[in-house]
Structure 1
Amino acid sequence: MNFKEITSLQNSLIKKILQLQNKSRVRKNTGHFVIEGKREISLALKGNYTLTQVLYCETIYKDNNLEFFDTEIIKISREIYQKLAQRDSTEGIIAIAESKNNSLSNLKLKSKSPLLLVAEAPEKPGNIGALLRTADAANVDAVLIANPKTDVYNPNIIRSSVGCVFTKQIATGTTSEIIEFLKEQNCAIYCAALTASKPYQTIDYTKSTAIVVGTEATGLSDEWLTNSTQNIIIPMQGQIDSLNVSVSAAILIFEAKRQRNFI
């Protein structure tokens, strides 16, 4: 076990962590990202992510299990930790991890009748995090993100997903690439849309299924609607015609799970 100590905010590793937190380009170019918090780090390890460094603040992090981490362990001052920490409820531990390749070619579907959640061009980290929490809660086979606006290792996504970014397979690609992949997998494509739609609860989701949601502002692109097996809608009884995308996705996904008798 290799233990070090950093006491200066000007240390090169501290500067690297700040860049990883704030710049998607740096995360992409280095293949690394930052994880904050005990639960998130634990889920990353369970998800077979590789940690390159673990940093802890001795006055905050009270667990005596640092030997559990098979990587470089670095003690940092409270001043440095407070500079790095992005959460009000700090736990005194941060890790740098290696990113995974989230290309479609690396996606392995083990189920003969997979249930997939697809989101096109989600922008808000909070919504993406909530979608990933739904995917974990329902134990879907994978989450596909079409035309992503940010990388999945954005610290705000990790935080809002409470670590669920590490618990499910995630793949990204263009809308065209994902549609082609779904057709190769013989997945029915059910698009949440207002036009030419059937009530969501009237559809059979027991076979290979992809449930596709778009943004609240613009919905799904025409390419999805053209390739949809069937558009589906959640009937509304109030004055508005749409729900938050993560709420809609949860309703649709858990109807599919109900039909599959898994809940």
Structure 2
Amino acid sequence: MPDPISSPQNPRIKNLLRLQQKSSERRAQGLTIVEGLRELTIARAAGVEVPTVFVCPELLPRAQQLELRQVLEANTEWFEVSKAVFEKVAYREGSDGVLALAKPPLRRLPELNLPANPLLLVLEAVEKPGNLGAVLRTADAAQADAVIVCDPRTDLFNPNAIRSSIGCVFTVPVVATTREELLGWCRQHGIRTYAAALSPAAQPYTSFDYRGPTALLMGTEADGLTPELIAACDHTIIIPMRGYIDSLNVSTATAVLAFEAVRQRDVAATRN
């Protein structure tokens, strides 16, 4: 094993920082950063390739180091780093001492392998990695078949999205596409589209049947869905608000809609 890395000027450490800070570097190198033993274990269980791992022995106990080695590939490079250096590259407080380079599973919309009756969560122009990560956790919990992001303003495998999703970005297929491609693809596959929007024409979300092929579309917290996308969808739905505010944050609203679809499908399955 190489000597522990103790200088922040080490070329590998400097590259880590570039990958953290610049989506252009992540795209150019075909890599992202996964921090945390739990997240890395989830990524490996999903078949994600991890070429390099950095471990701080002062933060990760020996037993957990052995646990980590068991989930890594035999050819994964392993580097130990000092606590001072690790604290420089870690992007969250209270890190457990594991940080890795991973090759994200980039997919295109036509490559999605969906069941006959898919449940899809769609985000338009998402720009906050934390919101994307929270929706991915919902998608995993609801066992949605994919998360599709139209015209994203953040890359899907932003390290902060991975962190906030607790690794669920690897457990649910996630795809970036355009509004036009999404709509055409949904029509081609007979998928009904439901736009969540503050619109006079919107009807309560409980008024609809989500047991068939379904795509639930959510916009940004600041602006919502674009008028063009709302107009192109089959239905416009709303979560009725009983208090002073007129909407929920996007991750909470997505969870409400997704689990209503799950509830309906579970009831149908029980009856059958």
TM-score, normalised with respect to structure 1: 0.95
Cα contact 1:4–1:74 (8 A) shared by 2: yes
Match of 2:52 in 1: 53
CA distance in 1, matches of 2:35, 2:51: 14
What is the alpha-carbon distance in structure 1 between the residues aligned to residue 65 and residue 98 of structure 2? 12
- Sequence identity (%): 43
Q: For residue 10 of structure 1, what is the aligned residue in structure 2? A: 9
Range with bigger deviation, 203-212 or 242-251: 242-251
143-152 or 70-79, larger mean C-alpha shift: 70-79
- Alignment partner of 1:53: what SS? strand
Is residue 2:129 matched to residue 1:133? no
Count of matched residue pairs? 260
1:220 aligns with 2:225: yes
SS of the residue corresponding to residue 181 of structure 2 reads helix
Contact 1:8 1:80 in 2 (8 A): yes
The residue that corresponds to 1:168 in the other structure is 172
SS in 1 for 2:113: coil
SS at match of 1:165: coil
CA shift for structure 1 position 223: 2.3
Give a deviation string over 1:44-71, Cα, whole Å, max 9, x none.
1011110010111111111241532221
- Is the 8 Å Cα contact of residues 128 and 154 (structure 2) preserved in structure 1? no
Q: Are the equivalent residues in 2 in contact too, given 1:51–1:98 (CA < 8 A)?
A: yes
**Does residue 247 in structure 1 map to residue 246 in structure 2?**
no
- CA drift of 1:208 comes to 0.2
What residue number does 1:145 align with? Answer: 149
Aligned to 1:200: 205
Moved more, 206-215 or 189-198: 189-198
Unmatched tracts of structure 1, length 5 or more: none
Separation (CA, whole Å) in 1 of partners of 2:212 and 2:19? 41
Contact 2:156 2:176 in 1 (8 A): no
Gaps of 5+ in 2: none
Deviation at 1:222, TM superposition (A): 2.1
1:232 aligns with 2:237: yes
C-alpha separation between the residues in 2 aligned to 1:150 and 1:193? 22
Q: Residue 183 of structure 1 aligns with which residue?
A: 187
- CA contact 1:189–1:211 (8 Å) conserved in 2: yes
- 1:96 to partner: Cα distance: 0.4
DSSP 3-state at the match of 2:51: strand
Q: Contact conserved, 1:55 with 1:95, CA < 8 A, in 2?
A: yes
**Aligned residue type for 1:166:** F
> Alpha-carbon deviation of 1:152?
1.4
Question: Which structure 2 residues correspond to residues 24-63 of structure 1 after superposition, within 5 A?
Answer: 24-62=23-61, 63=64
Shift of 1:99: 2.1
Shift of 1:205: 0.2
Letter in 1 for 2:184: E
User: What per-residue deviation string (whole Å, max 9, x for no partner) do you get for residues 155-188 of structure 1?
Assistant: 1111111111111000111111111111122100
The residue aligned with 1:115 is 119
Runs ≥4 residues deviating over 6 A: none
Structure 1 residue 127: deviation in Å? 1.2
> In structure 2, do the counterparts of structure 1 residues 64 and 34 end up closer, same or farther at CA, with 3 Å as the change threshold?
closer
2:69 paired residue among 63, 67, 70: 67
CA RMSD of aligned residues (A): 1.4
Contact 1:54/1:74 (<8 A) preserved: yes
Q: Does 1:91 align with 2:96?
A: yes
